[in-house]
Amino acid sequence: MAAREDLYSKILPRRLRQTRPGTVKCGSSLDVLLSMGFPRPRALKALASTGGRNVQAACDWLFSHVDDPFLDDPLPREYVLYLRPSGPLQNQLSHFWQQSRVNCGKNKAHNIFPHITLCQFFMCADQNVEALCGALQGTVAQWRGRFPSPLPLDLYTSSNFIGLFVEEQVADVLKLFAADFATEAARKAEVQVEPHRKQLHVTLAYHFPSQHLATLEKLARGIEVKLGCDWLAVLFSRDIRFANHESLQVMYPYVPQNEDELELVPGDFVFMSPLEQGGASEGWVQGSSLATGLTGLLPENYVCRADEADAWVFHGSHSFFSCEPSSDRTSRERDRGLFDGLLDSRRPDNTSPGDTPSLSLICHPMQVLRMAGGSGHTRTPKRTLFVCRHGERMDVVFGKHWLSLCSDSKGRYMRSNLNMPPSLPMWSGGQRDYDMDAPITVLGSTQAQLVGEALLERNTVLDFVYCSPSLRCVQTAQNILKGMQQEGKLKVRVEPGLFEWTKWVSGSSLPSWIPPADLASAHFSVDTSYRPFIPISKLTVSESYESYISRSYQVTKDILSVCQNTGSKVLLVAHASSLDACTRQLQGRGHQSPQDFIQVVRKVPYLGFCACEEQGDAGQWQLVDPPILPITHGPNHSFDWRESLLQD
């Protein structure tokens, strides 16, 4: 307890530690909570933690945090004031946000929605939050008619940053508004707010790989900065305990099997600190739940990475151009509906608005607005799952001792046939585990590129690509994207759950696959931040047929579930067995006997390709004609001109 008090003494400003309780009323919601018997500090904390939404949300928060060890601690929340765009400019920024993520992957800017920072994070005691909101409302009211319109923005780019900067003279005016808010906040809520002193700007992208600069800059130049915009002053808060933690979102429910495990509810957010991971075993991490405040171990494949602002609490927004009061219940619920709508579009597919923890009062990055046709309705494309076998493999073409054919006396790689690749990834003085994880041949790469070119010719757009950890599958996926002219733009997610039936693996252990980080270092376009549904540690040697079929079906469902709201075309690059194992049960068909299954697998050639399409909204899937033609080639035996041409 003494250590905890020392922590607070360092975090809490003296003014907050000496604030007199009860100096500001929180209105009827507080009165109702007090009449229900909740202690005043807990009621105030619940209202602050739910953005003062309503009594029901505060009650839900209190009941879910009944075992939170920090429930009665006087630790305040951190607050921040931003300017957020709305209207046509918002749509432009939203489009850039989505396209930059699709084409270049996530960068640091995606952690927070498009905004202009007006002040540094500051702390406010729970009993002063209502007064703080009043200070913002009053300051905005004083500035109506004085706010610069339009706001002049200039594009700036550098090697690792792209942003829209506010013209200096106008930026000085915005800083005056921030200073006025700081004065009002100190007077009404007894908090110290430090206005932002750096150049005011909207960050578009930063901390991105250098190879993405050209693409991001091109997208940024497409933003029409002179479009109309109603700038909103918005107030958010976050739990200070998790300020430097990684934010994760729960995708699947988990019931604890041991006392040190954390219960998971879909839609909840979990905060993970790198400092807490030392004691966690492979496949498990330690995190703290936003919904309950509890900490424990959890399976990492049950959560996905979220943006930092996903778990922030929204406390209201105010327009500089509309005279309609925004602090009353109607306006607050209108704002709440706007942000809940954004939240609904990002909920896990197996949850509904009622299932999401009530404290997830967030303002999520704005989604792109899809323009409807003349009918006024958008046509949602059918979801399609493509499954493709890898390309021609080295050990099949050149035999199980192929490594000896391309190693010199010093162990260096040296190809002895034109169908052997000029180099192999990660071959630096050693041969790694290529005898168990064979690469594809040059013709295998060509086959994969042909498939990619055919997909491009048919205007097939892929939203996600997953592949088995086998090198031959990673290389095949990379070459398909190369043929589609998407290499480096679309990241491949390496999923161990897509590996073939482990009974077919020779030896007593699984291959030593190249880790995604090493693949990325070898210039493969893989998503190093992806967390597999089935980590390698969960795979076992010589698994049963039933286990393999169940694993393949489960990982396919998991992939489709995660991709449901963000993409309609998913490609799995795996093994010959995957074409059946990943689609049969998806169609509602029972699995075959092992003998019949093997006969089907034998008929699947290299780059065998199938398509499974969702039928309506019933969740039923059916095999359909693939968008591309099959690829066939005959055997080409090794040719020795001496033996063939010098014989008498």
**Residue of 77, 389, 432, 584 marked catalytic:** 389
Coil, strand or helix: which one is 4? helix
Give dist(CA 516, CA 282) in Å, integer: 16
For every residue of 540-603, DSSP letters joined together read -TT--HHHHHHHHHHHHHHHHHHHTTT-SEEEEEE-TTHHHHTTTGGGTPPP--HHHHHHHHHT
Shortest CA distance to 268 belongs to which of 300, 290, 247? 290
**Residue of 390, 393, 493, 591 marked catalytic:** 390
Question: Tokens 């067995």 belong to which residue?
Answer: 577
Other residues' Cβ atoms within 10 Å of the Cβ of residue 176: 13
Give dist(CA 71, CA 511) in Å, integer: 48
* Residue 472 assigned to a binding site: yes
Coil, strand or helix: which one is 520? helix
Strand order in the sheet with 303-305: 295-299, 284-289, 269-272, 246-250, 303-305
Parallel/antiparallel/unpaired status of strands 303-305 and 116-117: unpaired
Other residues' Cβ atoms within 10 Å of the Cβ of residue 226: 12
**Residue of 315, 336, 551, 575 marked catalytic:** 575
What dihedral angle (degrees, nearest 10) is formed by the CA atoms of 29, 31, 36, 37?
130
Question: Tokens 């489709």 belong to which residue?
Answer: 560
Shortest CA distance to 193 belongs to which of 16, 351, 443? 16
- Whether the link from the prior residue into 626 is cis, omega within 30° of 0, is no
Strand partners, 258: none
Radius of gyration of the chain from its Cα atoms, rounded to whole angstroms:
29
**Known catalytic membership, residue 575:** yes
Catalytically annotated residues: 389-390, 575
Instruction: Return binding residues for substrate.
Output: 472
Instruction: Return binding residues.
Output: 472
